[in-house]
Structure 1
Amino acid sequence: MKSAKTAKNLGQIFLRDNNIAKKIVNALYYKKTKKSINVIEVGPGKGILTQYLLDSNLLIIEIDSLYVNLLRKKFPNLKKRILNVDFLKFNPLDFNLTNFIIIGNFPYSISSQILFYILKYKDFISECIGMFPKKIGERIVNKKNLSGLTILIKSYFKTKYLFTVNNSVFSPKPKIKSAVIKIIKRENKKNINYSILHKVVKTAFNQRRKKLKNSLKYILFQKNFRNNPIFQKRVEQLSVKDFTYISRKVIRK
């Protein structure tokens, strides 16, 4: 088995508390409805979450071949559904997955990339429960001091802080506490054009000290929309709804 040093280099930390693992899995909506559903588990490591997901249509994605072999021995019935691939490069359409849940104790080094992956496949992901560094978890659910990534996530998903996890229940022990976050797809958000919203958010945050009338001056908006008082504001004064409202007024080329 890998040393603690090697595991840390790969961004791997392993949850050791079965009660916490069960609590994470039981927060999934399908556990309450008792209906089997497509679940993708990301980076299962030794399978502490996996053991509680066997009643679902489970697909496991693990980048480390050592743990892939371990999992295939531990869960022989899942052997063909344990993939040795990089999750960030995984295309769910290759497996005809258009409606699924994501769960995982995500490697902290790719926390932001996981969120961008969720945005990329937002039309297919109904729910995500994951372990994040506590500060990132708080940022995802926070209603103030929003980051550009948080605005994008909140435009398409509801976010909920489930609970804090102490660093003492992990091996190797990280220096920080963790947070379990739940992300649930919002309904009727297909009318928000992601590429336009992303452009507006990115452009505004790149010049966050400027008022919108200056930071967004090269974006074409509908007639007279620039007279809206919202252009006198800076990004820290805006809500998620403000950004989605602005994006709907952009002229599509």
Structure 2
Amino acid sequence: MNSYDFSGQVVAITGGCNGIGAAIADRMAVSGAQVAIWDMDISAPEERVMEIAEGDRLLVQTDVSDLSSVEAAQAATEAKFGKVDVLINSAGVAGPTGPLAEYPADAWRKVQAVNVDGTFHTCRTVVPGMMERDYGRIVNVASIAGKEGNPNASAYSTSKAAVIAMTKSLGKELAGQNIAVNCITPAAAKTRIFDQVSEDFVQFMLSKIPRGRFVTVEEIANMVLWVASAENSFTTGAVFDVSGGRATY
């Protein structure tokens, strides 16, 4: 396992109580970081999250679709740790699956509100502090669906394509400072988001992965750690593939 030194750094992770976010929180804490988890539901975090030393862990109930909630999470994080050096945008929803012509308008809006607006809100909130300190790393969790577009998942695919575009735009805006903004595009991982889609859709996603299996949250965390590290001092506005060979570009 590669190791990275995050000693003295504060990492904010949205959706960090479970799944991908929890795996990243675990690796960050092992690497010396203080971890602030901004999650909609902080009532039942994974055991690996609760094993992080209390002095290095903060859980804040946060609705990323609400800018004021994100700003409150930032304030709580700064009150305990003083700053945010790294932002990992892992919170997301899949929404129901079905043809675009029949897709519920309210479900469409919810997916965009969490996946797109949520990423905008958190970036908008933490970037000024990063600019002031001339240091920051932002890693947005997009999806292979944002590159290829999954049938019967137009809302999710659209939202993740928007996250990719936002990453590229913000990366260029901040390229003159020691701030890197990148995203990853993982294939499907077995997390609670599977509960939001049908078994037929799960099998469809699996059939598209040349590796023949789903990615693990630990494999995603491994990629994120380097992208979020100080060693990643040049690459920004980039998209890192974690799709098991599925991505065609």
Please report the TM-score for the alignment, with normalisation by the length of structure 1: 0.44
Please report the TM-score for the alignment, with normalisation by the length of structure 2: 0.45
Higher Rg: 1
